[in-house]
A and B are shown apart, each in its own frame.
Chain A
Amino acid sequence: MWYPIGFTVAANPSSATVRVNEDGTAVLLTGTVETGQGSLTVLAQIAAEALGIATDDVHVVSADTDTTPMDTGAIASRTTYVTGNAVALAAEAARDILFDTAAQMLGVKASQLEAKDRKIHVKGFPQHAVAIGDVAQRSQFVLGQPSIGSASWNPPTVAMDPETGQGKPFSTYVYATQIAEVDVDDETGEVDLLRITAAHDCGTAINPMLVEGQVEGGISMGVGMALQEEMLFRDDGTHVNPNLTNYIMPTSLDMPEIDVDIVQGFDPTGPFGAKGVGEPTAVPTAAAIMNAIHDAVGIRITSLPATAEKILMAIKASREQEQKRLSA
């Protein structure tokens, strides 16, 4: 499957502000919202990488229209890519102020410096270094230049032609494959999901553990879409199953064994090569499961969810057709 990152053509900018404290730790201000995917951790990792400090040294403040800079939102799998780019640029801007100070302290040009291991050192001669905390102190209190950087980023797109749809609607896409193995009971139509193997591309995996988390979570939503979930309406438009009892969803007992592989990739337009992974994980699962059912019992389900009733009826229908062909 393939899936785009960001909004379709429309501008979806993100802004971020990074402040380096006098002891070399940092604060990141971002307007994005943490919805359980761990985006604040990933953004802290990006800021830390740019500043040469550790993830734990970065404190993230988020989601307050009074204090944090504007962010289009945690939507369309765009946080790592778009907000991440803004964070990386903001961190670099803050770091450049520190580089100016460090250049004076080390007696070199700012372009010769790099930040790593909580120190700012000269490229190619790391012994000539100064601790980031010391640089930040001097920058703020001696030179009167506190280290703070802000940046915005928006994915570059080209509008689509209204007649032919030709254009560049997204800046980047991610790709993935999922393979499912099922056991179908041909007397009841019930499907037992044995195993799903997923290979997902996310550019550079900023945090592989969180990527795996997204894959497993996405697969659970895909399983629900494939086999169980459906909102039902009566003829008058009122809801039949607006509750968890009758809206069937996967539980831990329905989940198969999942193998996750992160496909090697690097996207030069993303922060440190990263793209995104939030939504793509839920995309191919239903297709994989339907294809596995097709391989198992030779029937093609064309309407989701593939409930036991539908599968059983399809099996019976295909057997009747077999009988007719054999006896004709």
Chain B
Amino acid sequence: MSDEEKVLEREKVHLDTALRDPEIDLRLPAVVPREPYPIETLVPEARQQTRAVGQRATRQDGRLHGLGQTKYIDDMSFPGMLYARIKRAGIASARIKSIDTSAAEAIPGVMAVLTGDEIPVNSFGPSLQDQPVLCAEQVFHAGDGVAAVAAITEQIAEEAIDKIVVEYEPLPAIFDPVEAMNEDAHKVHAPGSNIYATKAIRKGDVDKGFAESDHIFEDRFTTQMIEHVSLEPHAAIADWDANGRVTIWATIGRITLARADIARTLSMPMSRIRIIGTVVGGNFGGKNEITQEPALALLSKKAGRPVKGVYTRGEEFTSTTTRHPIVMDYKTGVSNEGKILARKVRLVLDGGAYCSWSETTLGKACILSPGPYNIDNVVAEAFVVYTNKTMTGAMRGFGAPQVCFAYESQMDDIATKLGMNPLDIRLLNAFHEGSSSPTGQVLHSVVVKESLETASARFRWQEALT
């Protein structure tokens, strides 16, 4: 054989042997050899222990997540499934004069279009039902939904919502919660006041406490609006059967409440609704109520096909709940020894355009605001106020991280002023077993001091100070 022929022979790829020989460099599209699933499931020992509590048991879904086999909603598809998109207002406060969907309906591939007036009961909310599924008359924040479209591909749906023409009459808007508390500020949900909920806690006599204090500290703290940014966006699929029963797969953390809300907004009995909560890729509070599900259900009913809706990352910021920014005024009176004698707190929560979980956040923030300290004289007043911004709702902590930032910052300032070790001033004031909370509750299983001591020992706090 000549040299050229030898090279050709050497370079020739024999497909019947090549796929089995890992040494041969294949200039072919990558072919992943099929591995059979192991018959013996490898089970870490902790899951086999019969004293189960206290075991570092690995999660049953860990293997599925690692191999990429978990089915999130975006991984699910059904025959004939359509994709939905929602048109966002883009304007913070306006009256809707007209919505023209004819151009969108004319696009080939668009199977259903929905506007707010077609929704049987166009309002929902965990405590105040002030949020529309799709706005029909007025828009309250820039991320509000005004129409929804279901089409055979996402791109067509995206194009269709651009073609929907909405005429707005701009209205005044208010964005600062402290300003919004004034009587003459623009009323977001007119004619009611912008302050839609208040809470107060009063214990002892703060005036007397301040009179007896050696030092008084007054500070204002503010926090920002934050978004959960869970890896998986809000997603849902709605499908009807011939008996008028709707099944909704959703990323919602509260499926019972979701079913109740769908029953209410669609005016249906609960027995005709099935909500399936799939494995959710992170919730952190943002997925505790319905968002697009009633719209998807109605689009599905109109089109006669399953409809999937997945929020874009942009919509996660503009159109889903966020953390309440809070303006916190703290006035604390202490003795020379560092004992807190009185504390007065005023919280103003930015409640966004709709209530959502604000009442709960208000309650928790108010109750937790004095901190885990034995204080005989406490006044805590909290207000939550409408503004024309993205609605604020549940987010990991419900107001606690904000007030903790305030009371713990002030604590260190007090320690510095009195020349005390920040650890010692906290140990002096902290709750112990049987302490009375600001609401008068007798606390049990209290380990504040133990947690302070454990963390300080581990951090080597005393050495770090020197």
Are the C-beta atoms of B222 and A2 separated by less than 8 Å? no
Q: Shortest 4 CB-CB distances between A and B: which pairs?
A: A237-B92, A63-B277, A73-B254, A165-B201
Cβ contacts under 8 Å, B280 to chain A = 33-36
| A→B interface (CB under 8 Å) | 1-4, 7-9, 31, 33-36, 38, 40-41, 44-46, 48-49, 52-56, 60, 62-66, 70-76, 116-118, 158, 160, 163-170, 172-173, 175-179, 181, 195, 197-201, 203-210, 218, 221-222, 224-226, 229-231, 233, 235-239, 241-244, 247, 249, 259, 261, 263-269, 272, 274-275, 278-280, 282-288, 290-291, 294-295, 300-305
Are the C-beta atoms of A199 and B455 separated by less than 8 Å? yes
- Stretch binding the partner chain, chosen from B30-38, B160-168, B331-339, B401-409: B401-409
Are the C-beta atoms of B200 and A165 separated by less than 8 Å? yes
Cβ contacts under 8 Å, B103 to chain A = none
Query: Closest residue of chain B to A69, judged by CB?
Result: B256
- Stretch binding the partner chain, chosen from B15-23, B47-55, B113-121, B208-216: B47-55
The distance in angstroms between the C-alpha atoms of A200 and B48, with both chains bound, is 27
| B→A interface (CB under 8 Å) | 43, 46-61, 90-93, 141-143, 173, 175, 199-203, 219-227, 229, 252-257, 259, 273-285, 287-288, 313-318, 322-323, 360, 363-364, 366-368, 371-372, 380, 388-390, 394, 396-398, 400-401, 404-405, 407-409, 412-413, 416, 422, 431, 437-441, 443-448, 450-452, 454-456, 458-459, 461, 464
Are the C-beta atoms of B440 and A166 separated by less than 8 Å? yes
Are the C-beta atoms of B408 and A165 separated by less than 8 Å? no
Are the C-beta atoms of A165 and B199 separated by less than 8 Å? yes
Are the C-beta atoms of A287 and B404 separated by less than 8 Å? yes
Are the C-beta atoms of A238 and B142 separated by less than 8 Å? yes
Cβ contacts under 8 Å, B276 to chain A = 63-65
Are the C-beta atoms of B439 and A201 separated by less than 8 Å? no
B379 to A: closest C-beta gap in Å:
10
Given contacts A158-B441, A284-B401, A305-B224, 6 further A-B pairs with CB under 8 A are A31-B256, A44-B52, A49-B53, A169-B441, A173-B437, A177-B454
Are the C-beta atoms of B405 and A261 separated by less than 8 Å? no
Are the C-beta atoms of A4 and B48 separated by less than 8 Å? no
A147 to B: closest C-beta gap in Å:
17
Cβ contacts under 8 Å, A2 to chain B = 368, 371-372, 431, 448
Are the C-beta atoms of A259 and B458 separated by less than 8 Å? yes
B430 to A: closest C-beta gap in Å:
9
A211 to B: closest C-beta gap in Å:
10
Q: Out of A54, A72, A224, A265, name the residue touching B48 (CB < 8 Å).
A: A54
Query: Closest residue of chain B to A14, judged by CB?
Result: B256
Q: Out of B253, B284, B371, B396, name the residue touching A33 (CB < 8 Å).
A: B253
Cβ contacts under 8 Å, B438 to chain A = 165
Given A224-B226, A288-B408, residue A201 in contact with residue B450 (CB < 8 A): yes
Are the C-beta atoms of A41 and B397 separated by less than 8 Å? no
Interface hub of B388, B394, B441 (most chain A Cβ within 10 A) = B441
A283 to B: closest C-beta gap in Å:
5
The distance in angstroms between the C-alpha atoms of A203 and B274, with both chains bound, is 36
A-B contact pairs, 25 of them (CB 8 A): A33-B280, A35-B287, A36-B283, A45-B53, A52-B50, A54-B47, A65-B275, A165-B366, A173-B443, A177-B451, A204-B54, A218-B396, A225-B224, A237-B91, A237-B92, A239-B318, A263-B450, A267-B444, A268-B445, A278-B396, A283-B404, A286-B404, A301-B409, A302-B222, A304-B223
Cβ contacts under 8 Å, B452 to chain A = 177, 199
Given A1-B372, A160-B439, A172-B444, residue A282 in contact with residue B458 (CB < 8 A): no
Q: Out of A73, A224, A280, name the residue touching B256 (CB < 8 Å).
A: A73
Query: Closest residue of chain B to A237, judged by CB?
Result: B92
Cβ contacts under 8 Å, B223 to chain A = 225, 303-304
Query: Closest residue of chain A to B61, judged by CB?
Result: A34
Are the C-beta atoms of B401 and A73 separated by less than 8 Å? no
Are the C-beta atoms of B451 and A225 separated by less than 8 Å? no
* Tally of contacts, chain A with chain B, CB under 8 A: 362
The distance in angstroms between the C-alpha atoms of A73 and B285, with both chains bound, is 11
Given A63-B277, A302-B219, residue A279 in contact with residue B398 (CB < 8 A): yes
Cβ contacts under 8 Å, B368 to chain A = 2-4
Q: Out of A46, A74, A169, A279, name the residue touching B363 (CB < 8 Å).
A: A169
Q: Out of B173, B222, B229, B363, name the residue touching A237 (CB < 8 Å).
A: B173
Q: Out of A55, A197, A209, name the residue touching B458 (CB < 8 Å).
A: A197
Q: Out of A167, A199, A230, A242, name the residue touching B441 (CB < 8 Å).
A: A167
Cβ contacts under 8 Å, B56 to chain A = 207-209
Q: Out of B317, B412, B446, name the residue touching A247 (CB < 8 Å).
A: B317
Cβ contacts under 8 Å, A165 to chain B = 199-203, 366-367, 380, 438-439
Cβ contacts under 8 Å, B285 to chain A = 75
Are the C-beta atoms of B279 and A177 separated by less than 8 Å? no
Are the C-beta atoms of B464 and A181 separated by less than 8 Å? yes
The distance in angstroms between the C-alpha atoms of A21 and B275, with both chains bound, is 27
Given A72-B254, A237-B142, A287-B408, residue A222 in contact with residue B54 (CB < 8 A): no
B332 to A: closest C-beta gap in Å:
14
Q: Out of A55, A210, A280, name the residue touching B47 (CB < 8 Å).
A: A55
The distance in angstroms between the C-alpha atoms of A220 and B48, with both chains bound, is 32
Are the C-beta atoms of B367 and A33 separated by less than 8 Å? no
Given A261-B454, A267-B445, residue A239 in contact with residue B142 (CB < 8 A): yes
Cβ contacts under 8 Å, B404 to chain A = 1, 283-284, 286-287
Cβ contacts under 8 Å, B259 to chain A = 65
Cβ contacts under 8 Å, B61 to chain A = 34, 40
Q: Out of B90, B92, B372, B451, name the residue touching A199 (CB < 8 Å).
A: B451
B126 to A: closest C-beta gap in Å:
10
A18 to B: closest C-beta gap in Å:
13
Are the C-beta atoms of B439 and A70 separated by less than 8 Å? no
Cβ contacts under 8 Å, B323 to chain A = 225
The distance in angstroms between the C-alpha atoms of A306 and B349, with both chains bound, is 20
Cβ contacts under 8 Å, B175 to chain A = 233, 235, 237
Are the C-beta atoms of B253 and A75 separated by less than 8 Å? yes
Cβ contacts under 8 Å, B364 to chain A = 4, 8
Q: Out of A166, A181, A239, A301, name the residue touching B143 (CB < 8 Å).
A: A239
Are the C-beta atoms of A179 and B461 separated by less than 8 Å? yes
Query: Closest residue of chain B to A291, judged by CB?
Result: B412
Given A4-B368, A36-B281, A53-B50, residue A225 in contact with residue B226 (CB < 8 A): yes
Query: Closest residue of chain A to B357, judged by CB?
Result: A75
Q: Out of B90, B225, B282, B450, name the residue touching A264 (CB < 8 Å).
A: B450
Q: Out of A1, A117, A168, A269, name the residue touching B408 (CB < 8 Å).
A: A1
